[in-house]
Structure 1
Amino acid sequence: MENNLKYDTKFYKKMITIAIPVMIQNLISSSLNMVDTIMIGRLGANEIAAVGLANQFYFIFSLVIFGVNSGCSIFTAQFWGKKDKENVRKVLGICLVLGCASGLIFNIFASFTPNFVMKFFTNDLKVIELGGNYLRIVGFSYIITAISYAFSFSCRGIGEAKLPMITSAIALACNTVLNAFLIFGIGSFPKLGIEGAAIATLIARIVEMALVIIITYKRKNAIAGKVSEFLSFSKEFFKTVIKTISPVVVNEILWSIGMTIYAVIYAYISTDAVATYQIANTVQNIFIVAGFGLANACSVMLGNEIGRGNEEKAQIYGMKFIKITFIIGCITGALLFISSNIIVSMYKVSPNIIHDAKVILKIFAFITPFRMLTSVIIVGILRSGGDIKRSFIIEMSGIWIIGVPLAIIGSMVLKLPIYIVVALVFIQEFVKVVFGYKRFKSKLWISNLVDNMK
Structure 2
Amino acid sequence: MFQNWKKILLLAIPSIVSFASMTVTGTINLILVGKLGALAIAVVGVSNIIMYNAWALFSGIGHTVNYLVAQNYGANDMKTGVGRTYMALYLCLAAGLFVLLTGAVANDDILRLMGGSGELVASGEGYLRLRFFAMVCSIFAFVFHGFFRGIEDTKTPMVISLAANLAMIFFTYGLTYGKWGFPELGLNGAGWAILLGEAIGLLCCLYVYFIRLHPRYGTRSRVMFDWAESRLILAESGKLGLQEFALSVSMFVFTMFLTRLGTNALAANEVALNVMGFGFMPAFAFGATATLLVGQEVGKGNPFTARRMGTDTAVLGSVFLLLLGLAEFSFAEPVARIYSDDPQVYKLAAELIEVSAFLQVFDGLLNFYAGGLRGIGDTTFLLKTSLVLSWLLFIPLSYLLTFVLGLHSIGAWLSLYIFLMVFGLTMMIRYYRVDWENVQMKSAGRGV
Q: Given the two structures, how large is their TM-score scaled by the length of structure 1?
A: 0.87
| Aligned-pair CA distance for 1:292 | 1.9
Aligned residue in 2 for 1:401: 392
Aligned residue in 1 for 2:166: 173
Q: Deviations over 1:316-351 (max 9, x none)?
A: 222212221221111112223344444444447966
1:428 paired with 2:419, answer yes
Contact 1:21 1:161 in 2 (8 A): yes
How far apart, CA to CA, are the structure 2 residues paired with 1:318 and 1:217?
31
Contact 2:25 2:165 in 1 (8 A): yes
1:12 paired with 2:36, answer no
Report how many aligned residue pairs link the two structures. Answer: 444
Aligned residue in 2 for 1:254: 246
How far apart, CA to CA, are the structure 1 residues paired with 2:124 and 2:328?
30
Q: 1:135 to 1:358 in 2, by over 3 A?
A: farther
Aligned residue in 2 for 1:100: 93
Contact 2:364 2:424 in 1 (8 A): no
Contact 2:365 2:425 in 1 (8 A): no
Q: 1:46 to 1:281 in 2, by over 3 A?
A: farther
Q: More deviation in 197-206 or 124-133? A: 124-133
How far apart, CA to CA, are the structure 1 residues paired with 2:334 and 2:29?
18
Aligned residue in 1 for 2:42: 49
Aligned residue in 2 for 1:89: 82
Aligned residue in 2 for 1:3: none
Contact 2:100 2:132 in 1 (8 A): yes
Q: More deviation in 327-336 or 412-421? A: 412-421
Q: Deviations over 1:146-176 (max 9, x none)?
A: 1111111111011111111101101101111
How far apart, CA to CA, are the structure 2 residues paired with 1:225 and 1:263?
43
| Aligned-pair CA distance for 1:193 | 4.0
Contact 2:360 2:417 in 1 (8 A): no
Aligned residue in 2 for 1:117: 110
Q: Which amino acid aligns with 2:175?
A: L
1:333 paired with 2:315, answer no
Q: 1:263 to 1:347 in 2, by over 3 A?
A: same
Instruction: Name which of 230, 237, 247 aligns with 1:238.
Output: 230
Aligned residue in 2 for 1:305: 297
> SS at the partner of 1:122?
coil
How far apart, CA to CA, are the structure 2 residues paired with 1:191 and 1:428?
45
Q: 1:452 to 1:210 in 2, by over 3 A?
A: closer
| Aligned-pair CA distance for 1:272 | 6.4
| Aligned-pair CA distance for 1:57 | 1.5
Q: Deviations over 1:32-56 (max 9, x none)?
A: 2222233334444443333122111
| Aligned-pair CA distance for 1:415 | 6.3
Aligned residue in 1 for 2:135: 142
Q: Which amino acid aligns with 1:422?
A: W
Q: Which amino acid aligns with 1:156?
A: R
> SS at the partner of 1:225?
coil
How far apart, CA to CA, are the structure 2 residues paired with 1:130 and 1:419?
35
Contact 1:42 1:348 in 2 (8 A): no
How far apart, CA to CA, are the structure 1 residues paired with 2:375 and 2:341?
43
Q: 1:298 to 1:107 in 2, by over 3 A?
A: same
Q: 1:115 to 1:342 in 2, by over 3 A?
A: farther
Contact 1:122 1:267 in 2 (8 A): no
Aligned residue in 1 for 2:367: 375
Q: Deviations over 1:244-302 (max 9, x none)?
A: 44322221222222222223333444566665544443332233322222111111111
Instruction: Name which of 231, 256, 259 aligns with 1:264.
Output: 256
Q: 1:353 to 1:94 in 2, by over 3 A?
A: farther
Q: More deviation in 423-432 or 167-176? A: 423-432
How far apart, CA to CA, are the structure 2 residues paired with 1:105 and 1:163?
29
Q: 1:36 to 1:350 in 2, by over 3 A?
A: farther
Q: Which amino acid aligns with 1:283?
A: V
Contact 2:228 2:444 in 1 (8 A): no
CA RMSD in angstroms comes to: 2.8
| Aligned-pair CA distance for 1:178 | 2.0
Q: List runs of 5+ in structure 1 lacking aligned partners.
A: 1-6
| Aligned-pair CA distance for 1:188 | 4.8
Q: 1:342 to 1:307 in 2, by over 3 A?
A: same
Q: List runs of 5+ in structure 2 lacking aligned partners.
A: none
Q: 1:411 to 1:107 in 2, by over 3 A?
A: farther
Contact 2:240 2:383 in 1 (8 A): yes
| Aligned-pair CA distance for 1:399 | 1.3
Contact 2:134 2:199 in 1 (8 A): yes
Aligned residue in 2 for 1:228: 222
1:162 paired with 2:155, answer yes
Q: 1:442 to 1:240 in 2, by over 3 A?
A: same
Q: More deviation in 277-286 or 101-110? A: 277-286
Aligned residue in 2 for 1:4: none
> SS at the partner of 1:228?
coil
How far apart, CA to CA, are the structure 1 residues paired with 2:270 and 2:44?
9
Q: 1:401 to 1:22 in 2, by over 3 A?
A: same
Instruction: Name which of 68, 81, 91 aligns with 1:75.
Output: 68
1:182 paired with 2:175, answer yes
Contact 1:53 1:131 in 2 (8 A): no
Aligned residue in 1 for 2:24: 31
| Aligned-pair CA distance for 1:129 | 4.2
Q: Which amino acid aligns with 1:262?
A: F
How far apart, CA to CA, are the structure 1 residues paired with 2:171 and 2:72?
40
How far apart, CA to CA, are the structure 2 residues paired with 1:342 and 1:215?
43
| Aligned-pair CA distance for 1:418 | 4.0
